[in-house]
Chains A and B, each alone.
Chain A
């Protein structure tokens, strides 16, 4: 059967690519249904990645956050119409490192074609069935699972029950991580720090919301999650180092294209631990699905991450969706009708 892929061939240029898809491959034939545009996709689309990286990785079908429906499973494990979350990680071999950080692992919309395709053949290990989650919310499970991955990692590292945790960043990631911290550490006092008051107004569940210039005290937070990324990382990390207590943990989640200077003298003086986390494992996905299916309050809060939904029927509407994603507060979902 002929399948159509929608690949970015150079910044802001999407071309159709046709491939022969084997219906009897033994994998599960899946049709993407709702696709969420991530900042990483936008960096590729708008040509904000290093030219060398673009040359190496394009053409590439973008999008790594998606849900879909099963079209056919030769082995009858899944039924036609089953709703599934699509996992973007194609784990490499070996067990020394976890599946998401293996050097030979490939990640869709980065080193392998993403979900902007008419259909995909996926192994059962790369889909998770869901029933009680809205499709648009299911589409951002990958994003939520990255938050789960970071918070779980932190949970394993932290020695004492934290009294005060802070999250730097008022974007989608900061919001998701803040929600998850309230879920995993309900007793901790949560402070959310950003620059945009209207965005911070969404963080009603936090114990305290501050703009970055309102943070003047030093040595107040046990541990901090950095969800800023980009050029603002330096200022945020510098502030975090000032405000964190000795032997605190800084979870670094924001993505920066350029090197970020860090005052290592203070990191050493305070005995801080810096941990980087970006991609999630299947276990994190399963936990995210469990939370969304069993905790209505969490599902409702996470739904706030969806700023807009647009229908995509052709390549023109893909372009419109990417342009629109630049101006929405959080996430834009493409209702995939192409």
Chain B
């Protein structure tokens, strides 16, 4: 079984939309999270989709679920945790309870605010997670990456051809994630917010799946403008749920 875990726990503080989380903002007449959900529901490899949402926005997500998907039993909504990995843990738990998933099954975790994810990326994530146990979606860096440890001077300039930018999905076997997370000390759990970094720190080989530039994260107002332009939508400041 393959479960998609849509991470929609953000509160949208960077979008300047008076608290409306970015995943609920409209793109081509539809909330961004719905675009993302539909893509995973359309993916032939995905059996069910679980959305992890901040408790304050649970009511809105449930309304959207009802409005867009009616009684579709392939979808569930759960309350997210205090951080990204806790939300994944909640989704993993729900996968077992609601859909009968077992430890060997795959969970494909994805940011709700990356609606341009392609079927190719999803498919390759599932294959890689099945083969290697864990994978991350990455894109070769086009800009030179500069490191600074003191935020004033450059302390390193890594070789660009070895640098990648992390995207999502990040996919892994459910049981593997649970054991890695539980084996991590609480202090580290709070520090390491990226699921694949947890695997990496525990010595797992994390396979890379090639991402796409269009699979960008809608974080700032500029990103939303870009997304709307990409889909041929006219600029309209009134977009909101």
Interface positions of A (Cβ within 8 A of B): 1-2, 4, 16, 18-20, 23, 29, 31, 69, 71-72, 80-81, 118-119, 313, 337-338
> Is B119 a contact of A31 with CB atoms below 8 Å?
yes
What A residues does B115 contact at CB under 8 A?
2
Given A18-B230, A20-B231, A313:B42 Cβ within 8 A: no
Q: In the complex, A80→B74 CA distance in Å?
A: 14
Chain B's nearest CB lies how many Å from the CB of A17?
8
Chain B's nearest CB lies how many Å from the CB of A150?
36
Q: In the complex, A69→B43 CA distance in Å?
A: 11
From A336, which residue of chain B is reached at the shortest CB distance?
Answer: B120
What A residues does B210 contact at CB under 8 A?
313
> Is B35 a contact of A2 with CB atoms below 8 Å?
yes
A contact face: mostly helix, strand, loop, or mixed: strand
What B residues does A29 contact at CB under 8 A?
42
Q: In the complex, A235→B231 CA distance in Å?
A: 49
> Is B231 a contact of A23 with CB atoms below 8 Å?
no
Q: In the complex, A16→B229 CA distance in Å?
A: 13
> Is B231 a contact of A19 with CB atoms below 8 Å?
yes
> Is B28 a contact of A20 with CB atoms below 8 Å?
yes
Given A2-B231, A4-B118, A16:B214 Cβ within 8 A: yes
> Is A118 a contact of B118 with CB atoms below 8 Å?
yes
> Is B30 a contact of A20 with CB atoms below 8 Å?
yes
Does B19 have its Cβ within 8 Å of any Cβ on chain A?
no
10 closest A-B pairs by beta carbon, nearest first, are A1-B38, A20-B28, A71-B42, A18-B231, A18-B230, A23-B38, A1-B39, A2-B35, A338-B120, A2-B115
List B residues 201-232 near A (Cβ within 8 Å).
Answer: 210, 214, 230-232
Q: In the complex, A32→B231 CA distance in Å?
A: 21
> With A1-B35, A337-B123 given, can you name 9 additional A-B contacts, CB distance below 8 Å?
A18-B116, A19-B231, A20-B29, A31-B44, A72-B42, A118-B118, A313-B210, A337-B120, A338-B120
What B residues does A69 contact at CB under 8 A?
44
What B residues does A313 contact at CB under 8 A?
120, 210
What B residues does A20 contact at CB under 8 A?
27-30, 35, 231
> Is B119 a contact of A119 with CB atoms below 8 Å?
yes
Q: In the complex, A4→B215 CA distance in Å?
A: 11
Given A20-B231, A338-B118, A119:B42 Cβ within 8 A: yes
Q: In the complex, A16→B116 CA distance in Å?
A: 12
B contact face: mostly helix, strand, loop, or mixed: mixed
10 contacts between A and B (CB under 8 A): A4-B214, A18-B231, A18-B232, A19-B231, A19-B232, A20-B29, A20-B231, A31-B44, A80-B44, A118-B119
Q: In the complex, A337→B122 CA distance in Å?
A: 11
Chain B's nearest CB lies how many Å from the CB of A338?
5
Does B41 have its Cβ within 8 Å of any Cβ on chain A?
yes
Q: In the complex, A16→B118 CA distance in Å?
A: 12
Q: In the complex, A119→B232 CA distance in Å?
A: 18
What A residues does B43 contact at CB under 8 A?
71
What B residues does A80 contact at CB under 8 A?
44
Q: In the complex, A337→B210 CA distance in Å?
A: 13
What A residues does B44 contact at CB under 8 A?
31, 69, 71, 80-81
List B residues 69-118 near A (Cβ within 8 Å).
Answer: 115-116, 118
Q: In the complex, A20→B34 CA distance in Å?
A: 12
Query: In this complex, which of B38, B41, B42, B43 has the most chain A Cβ atoms within 10 angstroms of its Cβ?
Result: B42
What B residues does A337 contact at CB under 8 A?
120, 123
Contact with A along B23-57 (1 / 0, CB 8 A): 00001111000010011011110000000000000
Q: In the complex, A2→B27 CA distance in Å?
A: 10
Chain A's nearest CB lies how many Å from the CB of B176?
26
What A residues does B120 contact at CB under 8 A?
118, 313, 337-338
Q: In the complex, A125→B29 CA distance in Å?
A: 29
Chain B's nearest CB lies how many Å from the CB of A27?
13
Q: In the complex, A19→B230 CA distance in Å?
A: 8
> Is B41 a contact of A72 with CB atoms below 8 Å?
yes
Chain B's nearest CB lies how many Å from the CB of A33?
10
> Is A1 a contact of B42 with CB atoms below 8 Å?
yes
Chain B's nearest CB lies how many Å from the CB of A231?
40
Given A18-B214, A18-B230, A19-B232, A2:B42 Cβ within 8 A: no
What A residues does B232 contact at CB under 8 A?
18-19
Q: In the complex, A176→B39 CA distance in Å?
A: 39
Chain B's nearest CB lies how many Å from the CB of A26?
15
What B residues does A4 contact at CB under 8 A?
116, 118, 214
What B residues does A31 contact at CB under 8 A?
42, 44, 119
Q: In the complex, A302→B28 CA distance in Å?
A: 44
From A29, which residue of chain B is reached at the shortest CB distance?
Answer: B42
Chain B's nearest CB lies how many Å from the CB of A107?
24
Q: In the complex, A31→B119 CA distance in Å?
A: 9
From A23, which residue of chain B is reached at the shortest CB distance?
Answer: B38
> Is A23 a contact of B29 with CB atoms below 8 Å?
no
Given A18-B214, A23-B41, A2:B116 Cβ within 8 A: yes
What A residues does B29 contact at CB under 8 A?
20
